[in-house]
Amino acid sequence: MEKSAKIFVAGHRGMVGSAIYRKLIKEGYSNLLVRTSSELDLRNQQDVTDFFEAEKPAYVFLAAAKVGGIVANNTYRADFLYENLSIQNNVIHNAYKTGVKKLMFLGSSCIYPKMAPQPLREDYLLTGLLEATNEPYAIAKIAGIKMADAYRAQYGCNFISVMPTNLYGYNDNYHPQNSHVLPALIRKFHEAKLNGATEVVIWGSGSPMREFLFADDLADACYFLMQEYDEPGFLNVGTGKDLSIKDLALVINKIVGFEGELTFDSSKPDGTPRKLMDVSKLHALGWKHQIELEEGIKLAYRDFLEKQ
């Protein structure tokens, strides 16, 4: 990407988009194109068409999406499917129409079958049933991958897709109901500590295994892949390491400094038993994560405290 190129970062105020934006600024890119959702509704076909025709970006990072944890995904099933399909349909199609040089579509590890073998290899996509609680979101993201591939096949568009593992970091969502597990636990332990609680109750058995990547590491990978990767399909982005939710809770508990008991509520859903990315393709290209989990959680907790 040329330093003077116009680059559209869709979703620049979210955790992923803001990390990509910071990375591009750090690397010396100054012609960055951003819009808030109130300035440009990516779900609106005409608005997105008008925007692309007026601005004609050379590169696009499609990091805008409606996202949330198990509760949000399961509660707002229609919204997650409709809004994510609308966003990616509008952006990908108009990127093609206006001659965008390269587009990166960002998805999620939830695209994989619930009972897929571990670690998750890219070729396991569509080999089994999805996790029921986030099926609408996963279907939208699978459609995005297939759409990028279809425009590549039919029109020769240089559109690539990356599927990050579970993310956390600066500008995360700490909503009590709609957040993902790691930020939800940070908030839960912090509030328990403030309130002098004797116990923190954690959803599920604590046994599911999860992998976590700091969002700034993802941004670094996205920048790297925008230069180095040009293939159909998609590429996993993660650390290649996982831990149980119980062990994650213990790490967060130590960092936050809550001194009460931890209780696991097994009546609540666990979700997928394990989600570990096979990142051998990414490592073979020459990229590996830099920020380890404990260091990353300390950075995220500091960011959470600053925003209180």
For the chain, domain boundaries: 7-169+211-239+276-291
CATH number of 7-169+211-239+276-291: 3.40.50.720
- Point out which residues pair with 161 in neighbouring strands: 105
pLDDT score for 293: 98
Average pLDDT on 262-275 reads 88
For the record, the structure tokens of 31 come out as 């012609």
CB contact set of 154 (below 8 Å; sequence gap of 6+): none
DSSP secondary structure letter of residue 111: G
- Point out which residues pair with 59 in neighbouring strands: 7, 102
DSSP secondary structure letter of residue 129: P
For the record, the structure tokens of 160 come out as 């690539």
pLDDT grade for 264, boundaries at 50, 70 and 90? very high
Catalytic residues: 137
The reply, when asked if residue 176 is annotated as ligand binding, is no
CA separation for the pair 182, 180 (Å, rounded): 6
pLDDT grade for 166, boundaries at 50, 70 and 90? very high
Task: Kindly write down the DSSP assignment for every residue of 41-69, as one continuous string.
Answer: -TT-HHHHHHHHHHH--SEEEE-------
**Listed range (60-64, 76-80, 159-163) with the worst mean pLDDT:** 76-80
pLDDT score for 73: 79
Beta carbons of 149 and 233 less than 8 angstroms apart: yes
pLDDT score for 205: 95
The reply, when asked if residue 68 is annotated as ligand binding, is no
Question: pLDDT, tens digit, for every residue of 218-250?
Answer: 999 999 999 999 999 999 999 999 999 999 999
pLDDT higher than 80, residue 297: yes
pLDDT score for 52: 98
Report the Cα–Cα distance between both ends of the chain, in Å, rounded.
37
What is the overall mean pLDDT for the chain? 95
CB contact set of 273 (below 8 Å; sequence gap of 6+): 115, 207, 208, 209
- Point out which residues pair with 200 in neighbouring strands: 262
pLDDT higher than 80, residue 176: no
Task: Kindly write down the DSSP assignment for every residue of 187-223, as one continuous string.
Answer: HHHHHHHHHT-SEEEEES-S--EE-EEEHHHHHHHHH
pLDDT higher than 80, residue 100: yes
pLDDT score for 72: 74
The reply, when asked if residue 109 is annotated as ligand binding, is yes
The reply, when asked if residue 287 is annotated as ligand binding, is no
pLDDT score for 292: 98
Average pLDDT on 119-127 reads 98
For the record, the structure tokens of 131 come out as 């996790």
CA separation for the pair 277, 149 (Å, rounded): 21
